[in-house]
């Protein structure tokens, strides 16, 4: 464990998330590069003012890692289920917002986060991440990755659950004669606008897929950009206007309609509206 190997580089701040981000901001002001780790709900909601002001407004270099995003909080329940963390952090000026899609993505993006000068929020599922990318895949902050090409509809996903579900949905759509492109949009902010625009022009229909509140998250980012630059049909597969609840992961995926079927349905609807 990290604490055994580097005991002088670990601070356990206890149940004091706001103080934890404040400490990290102070360390950053002295030239350190602090990584702050806690549940996504507490990293954003409970320590929001400190991350907004002490870290970002003060132009510090704080790396905030929020674990157990969305329904992956499972038995911790609604109080610990961050559906709005992407939206909350996305509105902070100059902050980078990331959600790796698998282990290889995390490995490369973690190094990129370390090297990035400025504060970052990384949304991170801790376990059960299917491998999507190859070990040779290159990752860059702000650059999405085309996992599967297609010409009829584009599925833009972030995070492990929805990226794997988008791939499954594309396979199902292919059985129906529909060619769906799949993009791993691991960086929600800054959005890869060039890639979004190119596939909006190519397919004319977009479905965003996120294990998060649809309001203000990845879907919001894509819709905002396209509405101003290339009006395109955008459907969003994500959590609706709801609070979280307790349950097994499979139950919660069904309960909040984060399934491959939901993505397929949204894709078919988007295509009919082209």
| Residues labelled catalytic | 17
**84-99: burial string, b at 16+ Cβ within 10 Å, e else:** bbbbbbbebeebbbbb
DSSP per-residue codes, 57-72: ITT---EEEEES-GGG
Chain centroid, CA 30 distance in Å:
30
Tokens for 187?
A: 């960086």
Tokens for 8?
A: 């002088």
Q: In sequence order, which residues have a C-beta less than 8 Å from that of residue 235 and are 6 or more positions away?
A: 205, 206, 207, 208, 266, 267, 269, 270
How many other CB atoms are there within 10 angstroms of residue 254's CB atom?
15
How many other CB atoms are there within 10 angstroms of residue 23's CB atom?
18
From residue 266, how far is each of 32, 157, 207 by CA, in Å?
45, 13, 7
For residue 87, say if its preceding peptide bond is cis, omega within 30 degrees of 0: no
């Amino acid at each position: 464990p990290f604490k055994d190997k580097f005991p002088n580089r670990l601070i356990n701040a206890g149940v004091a998330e706001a103080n934890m981000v404040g400490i990290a901001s102070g360390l950053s002001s002295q030239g350190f590069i602090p990584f702050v780790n806690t549940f996504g709900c507490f990293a954003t909601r409970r320590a929001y003012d400190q991350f907004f002001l002490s870290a970002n407004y003060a132009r510090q270099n704080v790396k905030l890692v929020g674990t157990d995003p969305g329904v992956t909080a499972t038995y911790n329940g609604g109080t610990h289920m961050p559906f709005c963390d992407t939206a909350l952090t996305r509105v902070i000026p100059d902050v980078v917002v990331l959600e790796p899609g698998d282990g290889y993505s995390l490995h490369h993006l973690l190094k990129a986060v370390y090297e990035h000068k400025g504060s970052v929020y990384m949304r991170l599922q801790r376990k059960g991440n299917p491998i999507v990318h190859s070990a040779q895949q290159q990752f860059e902050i702000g650059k999405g990755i085309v996992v599967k090409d297609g010409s009829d509809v584009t599925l833009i996903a972030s995070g492990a659950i929805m990226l794997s579900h988008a791939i499954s949905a594309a396979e199902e759509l292919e059985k129906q004669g529909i060619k769906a492109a799949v993009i791993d949009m691991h960086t929600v902010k800054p959005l890869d606008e060039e890639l979004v625009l190119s596939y909006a022009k190519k397919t004319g229909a977009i479905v965003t897929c996120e294990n998060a509140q649809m309001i203000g998250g990845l879907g919001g980012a894509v819709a905002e950009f396209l509405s101003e630059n290339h009006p395109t049909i955008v459907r969003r597969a994500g959590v609706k206007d709801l609070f979280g609840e307790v349950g097994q992961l499979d139950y919660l995926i069904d309960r909040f309609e984060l399934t491959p079927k939901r993505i397929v349905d949204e894709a078919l609807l988007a295509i009919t509206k082209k």
